[in-house]
Chains A and B, each alone.
Chain A
């Protein structure tokens, strides 16, 4: 591995157009996903704090909007993890192609 370190041309790899394209697709996905999940998550404390009467409205039985919204956060997190894993394994293959000739 030490020998490998000395011979890898990091700059050349980084400058490859396929790698640049991969990075910008990754960045675009991660930024969009982060903005979405932060907004969805922070909506919970903001609504609970500033619109408590709305959150106390009952949907069925004693179960209210506040509890359902909180519960939905779990599914949001799971779905997002599922989607991320799918796109990330595609990125893995593309990244492997970029470094294939460097080994």
Chain B
């Protein structure tokens, strides 16, 4: 355990140095919220990838593939394809027409106060669900790795993350993310290599072994290459396949509405760089998720059942990747993978806090409470720092309250569903539909947010449990995403035309498609 501890300390020291360096460069709101728009395409690509390859991806998907085989791999597919939505529809207009948050885009032509208030609520909701999931993951892992109990582990992660966000802002958060993404890729490549080495570098031999995996929590050997070990079983009867489609829809449309991914496009100088950073991210994320084949299936073929079980005898899906590393690469590699897992959680949580606090300070404090007339220099950054502290403290509190047993995938799924149902419809309509008005935007945000949350509560993973759930699907997307679009549409056509919004549509269109008048990079 001492090697793990040394690696943890080394990583923390390195990232604190970055934060110290970034803190000296934080002069003004653009520097704090958007890293001075100075990040290059490949750097931002790594940071986007880093924000995305969270604990849920690295630890969660390895565990899912190890236990449920092919069905876990479907997550990997959805997570990558989602970036096409980001690339084609969201990234460029957002960079051209926005400043710090998603709501900037909406506020261009719509009545800013109600739209910003709702967008801010939606951002805070998505970020908080996502963050609690990561915090719980962090607590469980650190508890297991260095023996720190759950509550102090969560508090430790929270405090470190607050240091990055409060002092270092977006620049520090971005560089922590870049370093973590590089370490994670290095670890994943080495782990895949060791798995292939174990199977004598024979892909045929590897897939042969996968098809005869004899544990994965099952009594008899199962063919992990075949679909249907998880999905279609969880939800009985005719609803099973539909639940799978619903999950796919949520994954592929949710990413384009995730606030911590969206704010990443403000750190680059222009839309062209925003586009190239999505392409970089897709290259990195794609290679990473293809490698989940090796460490997910690899764990299933190499690890013995006893290694995967916790002390209480239950399978521990979150620990599959680190245990595989220990088995194949020894104590040093285990320490490395563990430190990377820890870094992953820390960096993702910092990114989430950054987007939540930016939205509250910029949208709610400056533009709703002060109606955009707050001119004291530095006030917005100060409010953001205080918000980061409050958001951090609240999610630490909730994570400890929910405890280590809460289902992290459930919380992340909720975040994706809310993002796809509430944020994506209003972003799309705002950029592409001239007639769109304020009522439509508020209706879309409210309906998307409420329907996703209510359907999850009524689902088999919600408050009524498996037996009495009024809504048969675990994933709400197939209902709540169309509802979000429908509400935004009906809210618009059932209310009078907003001539101001339509007049400003010309300005937004020219800005979004040409980049004219968008905020440029500042040099540090």
A interface, CB within 8 angstroms of B: 1, 4-5, 8, 10-11, 13-15, 19, 22-23, 26-27, 30, 33-34, 37-38, 41-42, 44-46, 48-50, 52, 55-56, 61-64, 66-67, 70-71, 73-74, 76-78, 80-82, 84-85, 88-89, 91-92, 95-96, 98-99, 102-103
Instruction: Determine if B225 is an interface residue (Cβ-Cβ < 8 Å).
Output: yes
Pick the interface stretch among B177-185, B390-398, B513-521. Answer: B513-521
A66: nearest residue on chain B (CB-CB)?
B227
Q: Which of A26, A37, A62, A70 contacts B77 (CB 8 A)?
A: A70
Instruction: Determine if B80 is an interface residue (Cβ-Cβ < 8 Å).
Output: yes
B514: nearest residue on chain A (CB-CB)?
A95
Is there contact, CB below 8 Å, between B232 and A49?
Answer: yes
Contacts of B276 in A (CB 8 A): 85
Contacts of B282 in A (CB 8 A): 77-78, 81
Q: How far is the CA of A62 from the CA of B209 in the complex (A)?
A: 9
Instruction: Determine if B507 is an interface residue (Cβ-Cβ < 8 Å).
Output: yes
How many cross-chain pairs have Cβ atoms below 8 Å apart between A and B?
156
Number of interface residues of B (CB under 8 A): 60
Q: How far is the CA of A56 from the CA of B225 in the complex (A)?
A: 8
Is there contact, CB below 8 Å, between B87 and A81?
Answer: yes
Q: Is the interface of B mostly helix, strand, loop or mixed?
A: helix
Given A42-B245, A61-B208, A66-B70: A4 touches B517 (CB 8 Å cut-off): yes
Given A45-B247, A49-B244: A78 touches B231 (CB 8 Å cut-off): no
Q: How far is the CA of A84 from the CA of B279 in the complex (A)?
A: 10
Q: How far is the CA of A84 from the CA of B83 in the complex (A)?
A: 12
Q: Chain B nearest CB: distance from A41 CB in Å?
A: 5
Is there contact, CB below 8 Å, between A61 and B207?
Answer: yes
B508: nearest residue on chain A (CB-CB)?
A10
Q: Chain B nearest CB: distance from A38 CB in Å?
A: 7
Is there contact, CB below 8 Å, between B286 and A44?
Answer: no
Q: Is the interface of A mostly helix, strand, loop or mixed?
A: helix
Instruction: Determine if B241 is an interface residue (Cβ-Cβ < 8 Å).
Output: yes
Contacts of A99 in B (CB 8 A): 510, 514, 516
Q: How far is the CA of A56 from the CA of B233 in the complex (A)?
A: 17
Q: Which of B77, B227, B278 contacts A81 (CB 8 A)?
A: B278
Contacts of A13 in B (CB 8 A): 506, 510, 514, 516
Contacts of A8 in B (CB 8 A): 507, 510, 516-517
Contacts of B84 in A (CB 8 A): 33, 37, 77, 80-81
Contacts of B244 in A (CB 8 A): 45, 48-49
Contacts of A89 in B (CB 8 A): 272
Is there contact, CB below 8 Å, between B226 and A46?
Answer: no
Instruction: Determine if B204 is an interface residue (Cβ-Cβ < 8 Å).
Output: yes
6 smallest beta-carbon distances between A and B, as pairs: A49-B241, A14-B506, A10-B507, A62-B211, A45-B248, A95-B514
Q: Which of B92, B227, B279, B514 contacts A48 (CB 8 A)?
A: B227
Q: How far is the CA of A91 from the CA of B271 in the complex (A)?
A: 12
Given A42-B245, A66-B227, A67-B73: A74 touches B289 (CB 8 Å cut-off): yes
Is there contact, CB below 8 Å, between A77 and B89?
Answer: no
Is there contact, CB below 8 Å, between A74 and B286?
Answer: yes
Q: Chain A nearest CB: distance from B297 CB in Å?
A: 10
Q: How far is the CA of A37 from the CA of B82 in the complex (A)?
A: 10
Is there contact, CB below 8 Å, between A77 and B83?
Answer: yes
Q: How far is the CA of A31 from the CA of B362 in the complex (A)?
A: 33
